[in-house]
Chain A
Amino acid sequence: MAFTSSQKAVSTRLPKPLKASKESRSERPANQNRWMTGAWNTVAIGFAVVMGFPIYWAALTTVKSNRDLLSQNPTFWPRHFDLGSYSTIFNDPDLPTALENTAIITVGAVIAGLLVGLLAAIAVARFRFRGRNFFIVTMLVVQMVPLLSLIIPLFLILKNIGLYNTLFGVIIAYLVFTIPYVVWTLRSFIVNIPKELDEAAMVDGCTRWGAFFRVVLPLTVPGLVTTGVYCWIQAWNEFIIANTMLSDNNTHTGMVWLTGYSAGPTHAADYGAQMAGSLLISLPVIILFVIFQKRVASGLTAGAVKG
């Protein structure tokens, strides 16, 4: 909703050629394109089938038994649906807690990461200051540090500040990978937004911040969504930090919960339930993305022209 008003603000201030572009887009040469679009659609669906096949296979295992997992003539369609895997996971009393913890950690890490990262991204994309290059390079180097080797030092920090075994501590730990990523990616989006737009807004009486909120921020939305989704998935699927830093039952995350269905010394792996669980756990991020996808697609970005 906030977007629509700011978008209006953008479009009224856009230079002429941009408006023209909006009109020209609606009147594409149709005939020849229709045939081409059909061909491209076919390619796209082929791509979706190949990409989706492993997911489909994972979904299949949730309705058929382990012994059909590997069979001489694989069945591409289950002969009978066995929803036992789903009843296993839905009857698991630990699922709601695990999902809740994962949601808290993820939302916290994503919001904190986006906020802090966005500010820094604006600084490095829009300003020139002493230490800027050093800051940018550091943010890249940080992403090269393997998370695995940080476990012990991170643990020592969280322990010393009393955040070991707390969800908040894990949120903090996740900022290690969210912030540098957000800074780098958003920077590349903001660099692409012409500064003339801020200036035009400022000439029209906006303050620097006003210009930022009404002009730059809306144009950054696709970038924010992309980086947000990335951070969300990273945080949502992270296992080693969550498993190492959280030990109590009521702090287990979804990923830790999933490993409970792996093979143990006294029981076999329940692959059906594990796959059902991981598909279920991945649903929120997909729903979230579909919601934001509309925002992105609604033409918010049509006006960003460089030069």
Chain B
Amino acid sequence: MKRKIAVAAALASVLTAAACSSSSTAGSSKQATLSTDGKGKTINVWLMQDAQKGWPGVVDAAKKQFTAETGANVNIQWQTWTNYSTKLDTALLSGNAPDALELGNTQTAKYIAANSFVDLSSVKDKFDNSSSWLDSLAASGQSADHTKTYAIPYYAGARIMIYRKDLFAAAGVTTPPTTLDELTADLTKVKAANSKVPNFSALYLPGKNWYTAVSFGAGTYGVNNVIAKSDGSKFTGTLTDPTFIQGIQTWDTLQKNFSSGGTTVDETTQDALMAKGNIAAIIGNGWEVGSVTDPKTGDPSLASKLGTIAVPGTTAGQPTPAFLGGSDLAVPTHAANPGLGAEFLRIFTNTAQQTALAKFAIPNNKTLLPTYEAVSDVNKAAGAAANGKTWFIPNSQFWSQASDEVALQTAFSAIAAGGDPTAALTTAQTTIIGDLNGG
């Protein structure tokens, strides 16, 4: 069965490659992988609304530069994340695929395996900072054997610990914890000092936040082959590995002792709850600081009271590995102007644009991390998390958000509610391995 799939995949590459080369000779005027010949043309680029809301200036600058350089116009078609995977499944088949698009770094593998993206390996060097791309992000854009590059890293996100400096100080904690043991000791003090507050969480760890739970597992297991490992043709699970379980038990103990009311929920309401004042610390993205203190969504008076650090790990200076989320950019094989699309991506991710982007999100490379970290303390923590060890989901075309991520969320929610970690993770592992091996 497994072999059959491997053969099928190989065959598919050949077939689709053949189909593409024939169609490109017939149709799209044989554009070079990077093309600057765009007079009178207009390219369509799909970007997520994150850019529209967060860094429209970066997009405008890239558009201007691209038009000046190639003579072609750019139409940005803004997309939203809801149901995006179904939308990609269809759009990438069609004759009207965009010339370049953004997608989540957990979504790339299946399109790469199906040869739906143009192979950009030959021009990778022309992309600024491509030698220092963030490891996990760069890996998500590569073929399963890591020999070819199909997607360009765009920006990253890493979770950090956001805590109430005032509540910690009131409990006698003035220096942030550097190890998990210190964290436990500090949280115990914070919890004791706030024992009268109903539903108080010294550290809020919602059961469905699988990113954070797995991070603790990766802290003891290691960041490679988290969740599952492949011997080239077949995946085996690593969720039930004793060293992984060990980290999960740490997470579970923290969750049981310091988190209240979050067993069956995910992290979407944690900012609002923190703004309410019932939570002393959360593990979240850097921008959540803004959301906790936003006058409309949160409490502005907390602005000076929030501190941020990378989530402490087992030893000082080695934070708990973060999940490196983020976005990639790719050129569909069915694009009308693939060369121009790739050229736009080159400009959109060049040093100038990424430097501007670094004000809002973790840039795609390590070279610019200092620029990002210089912006604020929050960024400093997030940059440290991204620059440290990070983990990523198994690189498989069969990874499914709706099935595998839900299985993990279910498992950790069950553990948080008092279930046995090994039993819960065994169930999740059965689902995941079944999916990954093409069951």
CB within 8 Å of B: which residues of A?
A: 65-67, 69-72, 82, 84-85, 151-152, 155, 159, 164-165, 239-240, 243-245, 247-249, 256, 259-260, 262-270, 272
Contacts and interface: CB of A to CB of B under 8 A. Distances in A.
B361 A243 contact: no
30 contacts: A65-B296, A65-B298, A66-B271, A66-B275, A67-B272, A85-B296, A151-B86, A152-B90, A155-B94, A164-B96, A239-B82, A240-B86, A247-B77, A248-B75, A249-B77, A249-B78, A259-B81, A260-B78, A262-B81, A264-B50, A265-B81, A265-B157, A266-B285, A266-B287, A267-B53, A267-B54, A268-B297, A269-B268, A270-B297, A272-B296
B141 to A, nearest CB: 17
A272 B272 CA distance: 13
Interface of B: 44, 46, 48-50, 53-54, 75-83, 86-87, 89-91, 93-96, 98, 104, 155, 157, 198-199, 268-269, 271-273, 275-276, 285, 287-288, 291, 294-299, 325-327, 360-361
Contact of A247 (B98, B299, B326): B98
Q: Which of B54, B77, B273 has its CB near the most chain A CB atoms (within 10 A)?
A: B77
Q: Chain B at the A interface: mostly helix, strand, loop or mixed?
A: mixed
A267 B297 contact: no
Nearest to B269: A70
B272 A70 contact: yes
A260 B296 contact: no
9 smallest beta-carbon distances between A and B, as pairs: A268-B291, A67-B275, A66-B297, A259-B82, A155-B90, A266-B50, A259-B80, A66-B272, A67-B272
A292 B46 CA distance: 42
Nearest to B326: A265
A269 B266 CA distance: 14
Contacts of B77: 247-249
Nearest to B89: A152
Contacts of B44: 248
A243 B87 contact: yes
Contacts of A270: 296-297
A266 B90 contact: no
Contacts of A66: 271-272, 275, 296-298
A165 B198 CA distance: 52
A133 to B, nearest CB: 36
A278 B82 CA distance: 16
Contact of A265 (B79, B94, B275, B325): B325
A156 to B, nearest CB: 8
B402 to A, nearest CB: 11
A250 to B, nearest CB: 9
A256 B53 CA distance: 16
Contacts of A263: 268
A65 B83 contact: no
A67 B297 contact: yes
Contacts of B288: 268
B299 A67 contact: yes
Contact of A260 (B49, B86, B326): B49
Contacts of A265: 50, 81, 104, 157, 285, 325-327
Nearest to B87: A244
B362 to A, nearest CB: 10
A264 B91 contact: no
Contact of A266 (B79, B86, B87, B360): B360
Nearest to B266: A263
A70 B50 CA distance: 26
B276 A67 contact: yes
B94 A266 contact: no
A262 B48 CA distance: 12
A243 B83 contact: yes
A70 B80 contact: no
A70 B268 CA distance: 12
Contacts of A67: 272-273, 275-276, 297-299
Nearest to A251: B77
Contact of B287 (A85, A267, A269): A267
Nearest to A264: B50
A189 B201 CA distance: 58
A243 B199 contact: no
A244 B276 contact: no
Contacts of A267: 50, 53-54, 287, 291
A247 B285 contact: no
A260 B48 CA distance: 10
B87 A84 contact: no
B80 A266 contact: no
Nearest to B78: A249
Contacts of B275: 66-67
A152 B199 CA distance: 46
A167 B272 CA distance: 38
A152 B272 CA distance: 38
Given A69-B272, A265-B325, A266-B155, 9 more contacts: A65-B295, A65-B296, A65-B298, A239-B82, A247-B79, A263-B268, A266-B287, A266-B360, A268-B297
B297 A256 contact: no
Contacts of B327: 265
Q: Which of A66, A152, A264, A266 has its CB near the most chain B CB atoms (within 10 A)?
A: A266
B83 A244 contact: yes
A159 B95 contact: yes
Given A82-B296, A272-B296, A264 B285 contact: no
Q: Which of B79, B95, B198 has its CB near the most chain A CB atoms (within 10 A)?
A: B79
B53 A165 contact: no
Contacts of B198: 72
Given A70-B273, A264-B81, A151 B90 contact: yes
Nearest to B297: A66
B300 to A, nearest CB: 10
A37 to B, nearest CB: 45
B253 to A, nearest CB: 26
B296 A84 contact: yes
A66 B360 CA distance: 23
Nearest to B278: A72
A84 B89 CA distance: 37
Contacts of B93: 155, 159
B46 A247 contact: yes
A164 B94 CA distance: 9
A264 B291 CA distance: 12
Contacts of A269: 268
Given A256-B80, A266-B50, A71 B86 contact: no
A84 B296 CA distance: 8
